[in-house]
Amino acid sequence: MQSGLSQAELARRAGLPRSVVNAYVKGAREPGVEAISRLAAAGGLELKLDRRRPPVDAERAGRILVQVLELAEALPFKPRAVLGYPHLRDRLAPRSAA
């Protein structure tokens, strides 16, 4: 999101030197929390911190994994002497030009 402000105006409103804002924009420097807060406020934005929940519930995922593994163990298994698909080494081998 852009505020439509020039770097000079953003720097003035944030109370930071324009050269510092320019260094942030170019990636030459990393702003601290205070600088980020001031820049956000100067651009008309509000920073809000919330407790972050992990994207996956580890306990639930663990229970599901156990169920899947138990199901896999319960399925009949008959080893085959010949694989029904190409070996990985054959699939990764460079193909000659036809």
Across 32-57, average pLDDT: 91
Nearest CA to 38 among 7, 76, 11, 20?
A: 11
Is residue 1 pLDDT above 80, yes or no? no
Q: What is the pLDDT of residue 96?
A: 63
Q: Are 11 and 20 in contact (CB under 8 A)?
A: yes
User: Structure pTM?
Assistant: 0.51
Model confidence band, residue 6 (pLDDT cutoffs 50, 70, 90)? very high
What gap in Å lies between CA 34 and CA 51, rounded to an integer?
A: 20
Across 21-48, average pLDDT: 94
Across 5-11, average pLDDT: 93
